[in-house]
Amino acid sequence: MSQTQSTAQAQTAQTQAAAQAQAGSPSHAATVHFDGRFPRHRQAIPARNITKGDRFMHRSGLPSEPVQSARVVKDSFGTDAYVDVVLEDGSRATVAINSTIRVFTERNLGPGIDELLAVPVEEGSAEAALVEAAKAHRKDAQLLSAALRVAPGINTRAGSHLDSLVWAAFQLAVVYEDTEFVWPILNVLTQQSFEDNATRWLPTRYGLALACWLARQAADHDAATGYAQQLKGGEEALIATLPGTAREIHRRQLEHASLYDREIQRARDSLNAPLELEFRWSRLKSLMVTTAYRLAFERERPDFIALIERELPIIRAASGEPREHHSTHQHAAERHAAQQHATFRSN
């Protein structure tokens, strides 16, 4: 390799490292400034809202080339199927019509709240809770997107709706510590069962694990045990559908949470804060599932509980979201949680 090539590669590596460092810095959680040319806001938007100038967020945290054009393509029956996107460098991307994608954008997506408030919802329902949550946390575009998706009516047979519900539940409970709006959402998730559908069971198990943890935090041990037993029942039903060796592997994964230590360390070493946060979320959910599952057998691991308590503030800080409504709703949340737990015991 020539000296000129070596120098060029070194300069390229330094440039990439500098960009990754800026993208991965926790101080850039809500606003990203690379070299002044990139859009300021990081948002999660529905696929059909992609527009010219948006830049997709890569897993590295860096933006793609700007979108030059985006058009909705219909299937053979006239139903919207996907968005065909052309970037300024000529490359193309297809995005499923019902998906949500993270972008860097200059647009202010706030007015979407008006569309959400126009949706009729039943008081006390999960849909109403999501609408109120989106109103309370107006800066959270991804929460608004989730609310817009399910507020017209939750379809529990749709895995995407269950995914949106469990995402919103964790966002509210962990990032905002706002449990007032969490329980109506969790009530939908915890009423689901395995039903030979692993795809729909995944968000349900996470919902049960979160409900179990919140009940423990509220010192309602009967409700926590009830959620734990429900999670155990679903997992046992899932295990029964697995082939021989896969059953034992799945049991071990339930007994011993995946901590994602290596993945988190690699993300930290590469200064990839968004990827590190994703793995920390995975660690938290894995720990909560294992804690609930072991509670059902009365084989708790205090070290796992301590890890959850340590992980919560780390994720909260890394998410960089304001929690302006936490203190206002604190006592109402506790009363509401107690009512929900009482309902669980009576059933």
Q: Are residues 214 and 95 in the same domain?
A: no
Establish if 6 belongs to a structural domain.
no
Low-confidence ranges of the chain (pLDDT < 50): 1-36, 321-347
Q: Are residues 266 and 315 in the same domain?
A: yes
Q: Which residue has the tokens 């694990």?
A: 209
Q: Is the distance from CB of 177 to CB of 326 less than 8 angstroms?
A: yes
Quick: pLDDT tens for 265-308.
999 999 888 899 999 999 999 999 999 999 999 998 999 999 99
Q: Which residue has the tokens 């997992």?
A: 235
Q: Are residues 122 and 47 in the same domain?
A: no
Q: Is the distance from CB of 198 to CB of 238 less than 8 angstroms?
A: yes
* Of the residues 105, 138, 155, the one at which a domain ends: 105
Q: Are residues 142 and 287 in the same domain?
A: yes
* Of the residues 79, 105, 131, the one at which a domain ends: 105
Q: Are residues 224 and 101 in the same domain?
A: no
pLDDT value of residue 141: 81
Q: Are residues 203 and 332 in the same domain?
A: yes
Q: Domain of 340?
A: 112-346
pLDDT value of residue 41: 66
Q: How far apart are CA 21 and CA 38, in angstroms?
A: 15
Q: Are residues 66 and 209 in the same domain?
A: no
Establish if 58 belongs to a structural domain.
yes
Establish if 49 belongs to a structural domain.
yes
pLDDT value of residue 35: 39
Cα end-to-end distance, the chain, whole Å: 73
